[in-house]
Structure 1
Amino acid sequence: MQVKLVPDAAQASAIERTLHAANEAANRVSADTFAHCGLKASVKELRSRCYGELKDAGFGAQAAQHVIKRVADAYTTLRANIKAGNLGAPKSKRRRKAESKPVRFRPDAAHTFDDRCLSWNYDAQTVSIWTLDGRIKNVPFACSPDALKQLTEHRQGESDLVERDGKLYLVATIDIDEPEPFEPVGWIGVDRGITNLATTSDADNHSGRRLERYRRWRARKKAELQAKRTRSAKQLLKKRARHEARHATHINHKISKNVVAVAQRTGRGLALEQLDGIRERVTVRRDQRARQSSWPFHQLGSFIAYKARRAGVPYLEVDPAYTSQRCPRCGHTERANRPDRDRFQCRRCGLAGPADVVAAVNIAKRAATAWVFVDMPDPVPA
């Protein structure tokens, strides 16, 4: 849950200085870690090497521990990504670059505060936060009434302080119990795509021409700014990129909320296709490459997944193989069943319709089959 801090000038100066100092300290700890331990950094070893230095720099005990843990967690994540192959082969440029230098933290990167460093007053909508200039009390925060209610009832554990575009935010962890999923009377398949961001087996398309015009306009403006190659153009590009990311998140939230609401109202489950590795697996035309890479399809799927869990709607991901080429009526699968991007026409039985809707229907059918095996009780040993 994200809330916006509304400090006065003195409070903002102290909080920003603390955040920047914490990230500078994390960079020093990271450089020392890389020089002496390489990528194999543990919290215990970092604590023995750097705790005293952080205390001498003015950090309290808990703040110093959080700086050390952030650095250790960053190296743990880096090792996991290397092991999983997310940074490429051993000799790839991206992997060699990641392994050749210490992890760096941006000056405005998120820093962790626990309940010893940060306390909340929900009635007054203020927080008390530790800084290098001492404890600062009565720092106002702003959020919606629904967000405040969730914070009051479900906030747990640590919160992150982050700065974006000169504004300060607190990202709090909330722990909400998930209801048990109900037994679905059917399934809604959701096919994600480039032209239609989401198409359901009920033939509901979520995107529309207005969004497509907006994305084309953004692409033209981006190209114009990139051609200038000036410092101000680069700054404006970064600002526009953040604006576009927020717009995409807003659209994905609207789509996922609509899809989950329909499933909950009709007592059906939701099924999506697995999109792991889609950029390496799927080839598209040159004019669609940027569009495929720019839209956060994985984010849309994650939004649908967590909203479904909160509503108690059953959720499954199924194998996407041949969902756009398989006939949902007779089962005939052939590339020629899809003569172009928008149309499906079975070469055997003649079934025809929008290709995205046919794919969504196939996804729903696969989910119904998979749910039978998910719901089956474990065999009783003899």
Structure 2
Amino acid sequence: MKLVANLKLTPTPAQERELRLTLARCNEACNWLSERAWETKTFRQYDLHKLCYQAVRAKFALSAQVAVRCIAKVAHAYKLDQKTQRAFRKHAAHPYDDRILRFVCDEKVSLWLLSGREKIGYVGSDHQRQLLEHRKGEVDLMFVRGQWYLAAVCDFDDPKLLTPEGMLGVDFGIVNIATDSLGERYCGAKVQAYRERYAKRRATLQRLGTRAAKRCLRHISGRQKRFQKYENHCISKRIVSTAERSRLGIGLENLKHIRARVKANKAQRKRLHNWGFAQLRAFIEYKAKRAGVPVVIVDPRNTSRECPACGRIDKANRPTQSEFRCVECGHSNHADHNAAGNIARRAAVTQPMFAHKCAPCAVESRQL
């Protein structure tokens, strides 16, 4: 599997100026190459290299390997289609390989710049440093919101999947971001309060429309998104840890295209479209893969309306958002917890390995 380690560079003021100049020069060269490729309809890397290698080196004073990376970057940009001419921002990310980048130690990296090789410090967590042991391929130099980063792709073998003793069903929601079949609920009140706070603040600043208001909008841009991403990371980590500790697989519902299927009134529409279930599912899947925990995707239809005791499916079984009460047998439970239990049972049935293990019973025994 592949993961990306983002390392923050700590350049001196002089090194930062050189980094800006280098990134601007490389993207200027890429734009020139893109023009030549568009004019001559030469999009393959080999053909573009043969056509422009000497010229781009002479025109932009680039080293041999940097010129090769620029050509590869332009050719890769045209792989999607050749219908529009590609253009690159002044400080767009640029790839480095082992010929123009080298990690000197745990604190410094040697980079090619226009002025020559520079050793620049970087910081990263212990987790990121462990990932670097599996670094493979190119490293992207990025300039994001005034900060410099290196994005290193790390490729390592998938761990052996454990043999689960049951399934942990996870129900995604808006009031409760996630609820598992063991009864643990991850409330979304904090995320909703943060979302409402920043929505109100953005509306006020946009209504003002002054230069100071626009500057403030740029300053707070992305905060809500980063907070929601942080919360999804925390929730996914706890869910995977619970499954690994209990030797359970994870059952998730397939909510793809749910926004197109579900109808919501105007008051609920904004909240529905801010729902980050796809990101949370992706985080759970890659963390589970690293931990060797199997993940099963199931059909979400009627999971919140089905009674686990008698099997009755009825819209009236869920009179309120949080309450489940079967109209047939009277069984009652928290609605999200009930749905998570149904997901766990469906995930167990989906996997042939659980046919003889009575996995749903294992989950039910933990619920009591």
TM norm structure 1: 0.84
Contact kept? 1:248, 1:295, Cα under 8 Å: no
Shift of residue 44, structure 1, vs aligned partner: 3.0
1:11 aligned to 2:15? yes
Give the direction of change, closer, same or farther, for the CA distance of 1:70–1:352 in structure 2 (3 Å limit): farther
Amino acid corresponding to residue 115 of structure 2 in structure 1: D
Contact kept? 1:23, 1:106, Cα under 8 Å: yes
Find the counterpart in structure 2 of residue 380 from structure 1.
Answer: none
Give the direction of change, closer, same or farther, for the CA distance of 1:129–1:349 in structure 2 (3 Å limit): same
Shift of residue 251, structure 1, vs aligned partner: 0.8
Give the direction of change, closer, same or farther, for the CA distance of 1:364–1:47 in structure 2 (3 Å limit): same
1:310 aligned to 2:313? no
**3-state SS of paired residue (2:79):** helix
Shift of residue 67, structure 1, vs aligned partner: 2.1
Shift of residue 375, structure 1, vs aligned partner: 9.7
Give the direction of change, closer, same or farther, for the CA distance of 1:291–1:108 in structure 2 (3 Å limit): farther
Counterpart Cα distance in 2 of 1:31 and 1:280: 40
1:297 aligned to 2:281? no
Find the counterpart in structure 2 of residue 143 from structure 1.
Answer: 124
Give the direction of change, closer, same or farther, for the CA distance of 1:322–1:158 in structure 2 (3 Å limit): same
Contact kept? 2:29, 2:56, Cα under 8 Å: yes
Counterpart Cα distance in 2 of 1:290 and 1:12: 41
Find the counterpart in structure 2 of residue 69 from structure 1.
Answer: 72
Shift of residue 262, structure 1, vs aligned partner: 0.5
Counterpart Cα distance in 2 of 1:266 and 1:187: 10
1:47 aligned to 2:45? no
1:163 aligned to 2:147? no
Amino acid corresponding to residue 344 of structure 2 in structure 1: A
In the comparison of the two structures, how many residue pairs are matched? 351
**3-state SS of paired residue (1:181):** coil
Give the direction of change, closer, same or farther, for the CA distance of 1:321–1:72 in structure 2 (3 Å limit): farther
Match of 1:248 among 212, 221, 228: 228
Counterpart Cα distance in 1 of 2:263 and 2:87: 34
Contact kept? 1:122, 1:148, Cα under 8 Å: no
Residues 41-89 of structure 1, C-alpha deviations (whole Å, 9 max, x = no match): 332343344433321212223222222222333333468xxxxxxxxxx
Counterpart Cα distance in 2 of 1:217 and 1:78: 41
Give the direction of change, closer, same or farther, for the CA distance of 1:295–1:49 in structure 2 (3 Å limit): farther
The percent identity for this pair of structures is 40
Find the counterpart in structure 2 of residue 185 from structure 1.
Answer: 165
Structure 2 stretches lacking a partner, 5+ long: 357-368
Find the counterpart in structure 1 of residue 264 from structure 2.
Answer: 284
Find the counterpart in structure 1 of residue 364 from structure 2.
Answer: none
Contact kept? 2:191, 2:228, Cα under 8 Å: no
**3-state SS of paired residue (1:223):** helix
Question: Aligned runs of 1:1-382 on 2, under 5 Å?
Answer: 1-37=5-41, 41-56=43-58, 57-77=60-80, 101-123=84-106, 125-136=107-118, 138-151=119-132, 153-372=133-352
Counterpart Cα distance in 1 of 2:274 and 2:344: 27
Shift of residue 358, structure 1, vs aligned partner: 2.1
Bigger mean CA deviation after superposition, 279-288 or 301-310: 279-288
Residues 97-116 of structure 1, C-alpha deviations (whole Å, 9 max, x = no match): xx5x4333333322111111
Counterpart Cα distance in 2 of 1:264 and 1:249: 22
